Amino acid sequence: MRVRDGDDGVGEVTAPPQHLVFAYYITGHGFGHATRSLEVVRHLVAAGHDVHVVTAAPEFVFTTEISSPCLHIRKVLLDCGAVQADALTVDRLASLEKYHQTAVVPRESILRTEVEWLNSIKADLVVSDVVPVACRAAADAGIRSVCVTNFSWDFIYAEYVVAAGHHHRSIVWQIAEDYSHCEFLLRLPGYCPMPAFRDVIDVPLVVRRLHKSRSEVCTSCLRLSGARRLRDAIVLGYQLQRAPGRDVGIPDWYSLSEKETGVRPTPSSHDMNGSAESSFEDFEILHGDMQGLTDTMSFLKSLSGLAGNDPRGSEKQTRERAAASVLFDWEEEIYVARAPGRLDVMGGIADYSGSLVLQVSLTAKAKCLICLCNWVFFINMFAQVSFGSELSNRAPTFDMDLSDFMDGDKPISYDKAKEYFSLDPSQKWAAYVAGTIFVLMTELGVRFTDSMSILVSSSVPEGKGVSSSASVEVASMSAIAAAYGLSIAPRDLALLCQKVENRVVGAPCGVMDQMASACGEANKLLAMVCQPAEVKELVNIPTHIRFWGLDSGIRHSVGGTDYGSVRVGTYMGRKMIKCAASDLLSESLPSCVPMQSGDTNLEEYEEHGVDLLKSEASMEYLCNLPPHRYEAVYAKDIPEVITGDDFLEKYGDHNDSVTAVDPKRSYCVKAPTRHPIYENFRVEAFKSLLTAAKTDGQLSALGELMYQCHYSYNACGLGSDGTDRLVNLVQEIQHRKTSRAGGPSLVGAKITGGGSGGSVCVIGKNCLKSSEEIFEIQRRYKAATGYLPIIFEGSSPGAGKFGYLKIRRRSA
């Protein structure tokens, strides 16, 4: 009904109108949307309503089916869909560029024009399939809107952003924001994740009306492809449907929470089938302890659902779940391992230079399930986008013959293994899992006579700098070791997993991530000296101190160019220092002068310290060089930048087995060399301060050390606008007047891990005010960038502490 003001200013309620005016916006991508929307339009017109169709599709699509003065066509292009070279090839970056020119650049003009037009036709309702700006224009005009679709452009473009880098990431957020103004979504079958919509109503499939009889269609289909293919297509269609609450493959950097758009998530099947205890009792635990971890209970419950699935039935489920349900012999013994992601508190990229590092093992984790069988088959069933196959253009499954890893009676080389997984980009993700098998074969001489089925599930978001890849590697190798009775200490397992990352995947990371995932413990900081991987101690986090992780939304990758070039620059600096120390040693201690007590040259020898020079000339880890020695002896001779060609000509090689010097490239050397030397000192000081007396001075000093680390990353070229913005927000809150009275609650922040995006670590008091300020930072970052950061908090045991579970399904 409508409410209008009467002459006396009192609201007057009128009877529901018999005639309505609809504004129906149809996307400009292909004819499919137009022909589907045509049926809705046809029924609305037949009911006597006026329908104004806003579309770039040809008029004949509508006028050949509908002949009525109630149908009005307005030719306008408000979105552009995808740019395709042919029916199967999409140019992702070009699609984003075209949308930017079509809908982003003229956005203000579009909104102004659409609001005026909607008011001019006195529209009662806006319907969209599925033009984003139509929902925003309707809201601005004070008109309700609904969408009718089974996919949305934020979902489609999110995959394009993942493939094309972070170009035009704001497009996805703008589209999601537009959709959030929609009153509700009429969701058609075969739908994709669409978290931007507030309310969802599932409806049957809407298609163009029949122009042939059922018998004619069946005869035609059977003649073209046969009954078997038709039946298989129908079965596959059922399997591709998604049940409420089982949407997967949403990019973590774009997933919308209730705080952003008021989305009310559909309760998942995990929440509707009773307690976890009743569900995981479908499995008998033969070995191990769940240690009260609710994520483990939920995981076992999800396995109960998989074990009971009939992939040929009509139950709606994802491709991954459909494949996983037939992957295992559920009557056999199954091994489950768990490995968490990590939050880098201090140390970061100094790990490969031998620094002390401090790491927290997060509650976000990867799970690996393994069963011995007759083939190797990897299922990529990830609840987050970290490894979401549908959105990341990655195959959901991977299978291989173990003989592919063998060259006669020996394993193939690491280079060939790396090449093997690089052949198909959609299956490169399998290197993180299958690579663990190859490393065990190569390094430990393990020969796998039985084959295996593996399922991996991870809640560690990818590209956030919280060790998504390390957690998958550690969980996978832990499960394989358990299944084959291999006794591998957590430290050794971490070193083997680092080889997976370095030699099979090709990412030049240090061992910090794998060590934290394998050796961490809940509520403690793992203090580790990376020479190569020695756990110094597990430091209790003081009860008055708390750490948070805040995701910037900017994708991080240790395989990226910046990370690799900084590592090369660091190793160049180490080589220069070693050569300089050798030269000084030669000058101070000529081979013709014997070292004897009372020698007149002894004072000259001691000037530089012969023993120090000897150790520095043979230095393996740059972090063993104290800052004062670096400044006093070597800093002045380290260049800011050097070309690869000049370095190779003068020094020969940088002596790093996992990176190579490009002769044609210039490398920053001074900042990458200085960073680990000072970072090791900062981490040592940080660790000592943690056990100091509880004072504001203690917290202030801890925060200052984190800030220094952050700006040292920036000097190396590993910063980003997003992480800088988050750190600046922490500083603004820390130093504002309202924080001075009782002392600030948040005291420091720094970029984490490999830098160049990802997350920041924040330190503060363990109090309610700190949590409120973290949420304030989250909101302010969203207001400035359109992206709502993920908050990481809490901790959980590493893979070594968890051990493994051996389970078997209970007999009926």
**What's the CATH code of the domain at 479?**
3.30.230.10
Identify the CATH number of the domain in which residue 142 sits: 3.40.50.2000
**What's the average model confidence in pLDDT over 744-757?**
93
Q: Is residue 572 part of a domain?
A: yes
Q: How far apart are CA 191 and CA 201, in angstroms?
A: 12
Domain termination residue (choose one: 145, 168, 202): 202
Q: Is the pLDDT of residue 357 over 50?
A: yes
For residue 427, the model assigns a pLDDT of 73
- Which structural domain range is residue 782 located in? 719-792
Cβ partners under 8 Å of residue 646, min gap 6:
none
**222, part of any domain:** no
Say which range, 30-44, 453-467, 533-547, 549-563, has the weakest mean pLDDT. Answer: 549-563
Instruction: Tell me: pLDDT of 617 over 60.
Output: yes
Contacts 24+ apart (CB under 8 A), 652-655: 653/575, 654/568, 654/571, 654/572, 654/574, 654/575, 655/571, 655/574, 655/575
Domain assignment present for residue 466? The answer is yes
Q: Is residue 259 over pLDDT 90?
A: no
pLDDT for residue 261: 36
Q: Is there a contact between 63 and 73 (Cβ–Cβ < 8 Å)? A: yes
Distance CA 184, CA 197 (A): 6
Mean pLDDT score, 557-565: 71
Instruction: Mark whether 659 and 742 lie in a shared domain.
Output: no
Looking at the fold, whether 194 and 82 belong to one and the same domain comes out as: yes
CA distances from residue 107 to 80, 82, 144 in whole angstroms, order as listed: 14, 19, 20
State yes or no: pLDDT of 307 exceeds 60.
Answer: yes
Most confident of 204-208, 441-445, 466-470: 441-445
Active-site residue among 513, 583, 656, 724?
513
Q: Which helix (H) or strand (E) holds 550?
A: strand 545-551
pLDDT at 296: 81
Burial 351-368 (b: 16+ CB within 10 A, else e): bbbbbbbbbbbbbbbbbb
Write the pLDDT tens digit of every residue in 140-193.
999 999 999 998 998 888 878 776 655 677 888 889 889 988 988 999 988 888
Q: Is the pLDDT of residue 383 over 50?
A: no
541: part of which helix (H) or strand (E)? none
Residues 483 and 386 in one domain: yes
Tell me, yes or no, whether 516 and 440 share the same domain. yes
Q: Is 154 a catalytic residue?
A: no
Residue 224 in this model has a pLDDT that exceeds 60: no
User: pTM to 2 decimals?
Assistant: 0.62
- Percent of the chain with pLDDT strictly greater than 70: 78
Give the mean model confidence (pLDDT) for residues 82-92: 74
Residue 81 lies in a domain: yes
Q: How high is the pLDDT of residue 127? A: 97
Cβ neighbourhood burial of 498 (10 Å; 0-12, 13-18, 19+): buried
Start-end of H helices in 392-455: 414-422, 431-444
**Are 670 and 739 contained in the same domain?**
no
Classify strands 21-26 and 125-129 as parallel, antiparallel or unpaired.
parallel
Which of 149, 181, 202 is the C-terminal boundary of a domain?
Answer: 202
501 vs 392 pLDDT, higher one: 501
Task: Clarify whether residues 461 and 432 are in a common domain.
Answer: yes
Other residues' Cβ atoms within 10 Å of the Cβ of residue 142: 9
Do the domain assignments include residue 275? no
- Asked whether the predicted pLDDT for residue 240 surpasses 60, the reply is no
Q: Please state the rounded mean pLDDT for residues 202-214.
A: 80
Query: 676 and 775: one domain?
Result: no
- pLDDT at position 262, please? 37
| Maximum distance among all Cα pairs of the chain, rounded to whole angstroms | 114
At residue 599, the pLDDT reads: 52
Residue 311 has pLDDT above 50, yes or no: no
Residues 680 and 743 in one domain: no
Q: Are residues 676 and 580 part of one domain?
A: yes
pLDDT in tens, 409-449: 999 999 999 998 888 776 788 899 999 999 999 999 999 87
Range with the largest mean pLDDT of 86-95, 165-174, 287-296, 799-808? 799-808
Of the pLDDT bands very low, low, confident and very high (cuts 50, 70, 90), residue 217 is: low
Same domain, 734 and 661: no
What are the CA-CA distances from residue 33 to residues 61, 137, 207, 607, 625 (Å)?
Answer: 11, 20, 9, 81, 65
In this structure, is residue 508 part of a structural domain? Answer: yes
The more confident residue out of 692 and 118 is 118
- Give dist(CA 568, CA 571) in Å, integer: 5
User: Which of 331-345, 491-505, 602-616, 722-736 shows the lowest per-residue confidence on average (mean pLDDT)?
Assistant: 602-616
For residues 369 and 454, what is the distance between their CA atoms, to the nearest angstrom? 6
**Secondary structure string (H, E, C) spanning 609-672:** CHHHHHHHHCCCCHHHCCHHHHHHHHHHHCCCEEEHHHHHHHHCCCCCCCCCCCCCCEEECHHH
Q: Give the separation between CA 423 and CA 401, rounded to whole angstroms.
A: 16
Whether 151 and 193 share a structural domain: yes
Question: How many helical (H) and strand (E) elements, i.e. helices and strands, does the chain have?
Answer: 29, 26
Confidence band of 451 (pLDDT split at 50, 70, 90):
confident
Contacts of residue 536, defined as CB under 8 A and 6 or more positions apart, other chains included, come to 356, 527, 528, 529
309-333 average pLDDT score: 59
User: Which domain-ending residue is among 202, 217, 241?
Assistant: 202
Residues 232-246 as b or e (16 or more Cβ within 10 Å = b): eeeeeebbebbeeeb
Q: What pLDDT sits at residue 756?
A: 84
Q: Tell me what the pLDDT averaged over the chain comes to.
A: 81
Least confident range from 60-74, 97-111, 368-382, 475-489: namely 368-382
- Based on the structure, what is the number of domains in the chain? 4
What mean pLDDT do residues 643-650 have?
96
* Residue 58 belongs to some domain of the structure: yes
- Is 381 in the same domain as 454? yes
Report the C-alpha gap between 261 and 281 in whole angstroms: 38
What is the pLDDT at residue 324? 63
- Cβ(781)–Cβ(729) under 8 Å? yes
| Domain annotation covers residue 602 | no
E strand map for 655-793:
666-668, 746-751, 759-765, 791-792
- DSSP result, 26-77: E-SSTTHHHHHHHHHHHHHHHTT-EEEEEESS-THHHHTT---TTEEEEE--
DSSP 3-state percent helix, strand, coil across the chain (nearest 5): 45, 20, 35
b/e per residue 392-406 (b: at least 16 CB within 10 A): bebbbbbebebeebe
What token pair was written down for 634?
């070597």
Which sign, positive or negative, has the C-alpha torsion 222, 224, 229, 231?
Answer: negative
